[in-house]
Amino acid sequence: MRLPQNVVKFAKTEDSLKAYQRFVDFYNHKQNKVGKFDASISLMDKKEKLGFAVREEIARLSNVSKETIDSLPAEVLASNPMYQWASFAVVGTMVDAVLPDSIIDSIGLYTDLRVGGYGDSFSFDIDSRDLFVVSKHGNGKRQAELHKQYKGQINIIPENRMISVATSLYKVLADVENLAEFARKATISMEVEMTKDAYTVFNTAMEALDNTGDDALRVTGYTQDALVELCNTVTAYNGGRKAVIVGTQLALQNILPADAGYRYDLQSDYVKIGYINTAFGYDVMMLPQVANVGSDFTLALDDNNIYVLSPAGDKLIKGALEGATTSHVQMAQSNADLTEVVTMNKRWGFAVATSSVAGLIELS
């Protein structure tokens, strides 16, 4: 199992790395990411083994022997500042073990995500998509008009995001509040927010496309002819890299043949998954919806847009994920209700940076 370099560096040894490998497997199993976890072991068994592995990793990092951890009461361990620091340093590293790979499932179709350390420069070179001019000339001419192409460059400066959670370290150490579950929820929280940030940048850029003239890349109202023409245009102007039709499930169910006489088979893709896997020679791919947490059950992705992209070419959005997840703990004795406040920090940013062409169909 391949893990980010900062996680490998943090773990140092193969034995320590197993804790983070087990967390990745546990996370994928809990989130039902089919094909990315060992289905031969039950989730309950994984959770138990992961708990042991996490405690051993905390012991290594805090220089407290496992025998001491097993023999001392939880309330005694809770007063050890090194053990507190090590507990949430391990949680932050578990988040880092999962987040880069997990977020690709949500935004990978349109985002190129680069992971770096603190202080790294996130610069993206943008190649020109123009071709060289080919002109007719006589046999006695030495050269044609000279042409030269230049690369552009986009810099992304990640911004810090924070999660502050009130928790009881006593319950964590007593395994009433499980560290693996804490890390899983923190990962989901960051993944949802990153997905919303990346999609907002992507959707804003797509809706800013010109919708006037015969060569418009933004079309209002779905028709079969408009979709095929847009797919052909995007494919041609991306150097032959075949276009893919992308949208939410609700948006994609509008992609149907122009013939009003078609019939649905109960075993068809449209009935089974809610949309057609392949339409008019082009693949159709779904973007998973994201909840607007804290709202009245609204969704983040626009169900009225169908996008036409070439994922094999230059991705439309570039993302920067800077540094490891850091955390600090405000001790229970500092708060009147004796709760501990854990704050986690992560830095990321997204921007439009591409030479690719993409299209948009706005459903009427």
Question: In terms of pTM, does the model score above 0.75?
Answer: yes
- What radius of gyration, in Å, describes the C-alpha atoms of the chain? 25
Beta bridge partners of 152: 126
pLDDT given for residue 153 in this prediction? 81
What sign results for the dihedral spanned by CA atoms 232, 238, 243, 244? Answer: negative
- Residue 217 has what DSSP assignment? S
With CA atoms as reference, report the closest residue to 352 among 197, 192, 131.
197
Tokens 């094999």 found at:
312
| CA atoms within 13 Å, Cβ hemisphere of 130 | 10
| C-alpha distances in Å from residue 163, one per residue of 31, 81, 166, 327, 333 | 21, 21, 10, 9, 21
Q: How many CB atoms lie within 10 A of CB 80?
A: 17
pLDDT given for residue 332 in this prediction? 65
pLDDT given for residue 305 in this prediction? 93
d(CA 115, CA 321): 5
pLDDT given for residue 168 in this prediction? 66
d(CA 36, CA 166): 32
d(CA 224, CA 90): 52
With CA atoms as reference, report the closest residue to 290 among 178, 203, 180, 352.
203
Beta bridge partners of 283: 244, 278
Domain boundaries defined on the chain: 5-122+153-200+319-352, 204-316+356-362
pLDDT by residue for the chain (364 residues), tens only, comes to 678 888 888 888 888 888 888 888 888 888 888 778 888 888 888 888 888 888 888 888 888 877 777 777 766 776 777 887 888 888 888 888 888 888 888 888 889 888 888 878 888 888 877 778 788 888 878 778 777 777 778 888 888 988 887 776 566 656 666 777 888 888 888 888 889 999 999 999 998 887 776 668 898 888 888 999 999 999 998 888 999 999 999 999 888 887 766 676 776 777 777 788 888 889 999 998 888 877 778 888 999 999 999 988 888 999 888 888 887 777 766 666 667 778 888 899 999 988 888 999 998 7
- Residue 299 has what DSSP assignment? B
Instruction: Strands of 21-170 (E only): list them.
Output: 111-116, 123-126, 152-155, 159-167
pLDDT given for residue 214 in this prediction? 61
The token pair at 328 is 């600090």
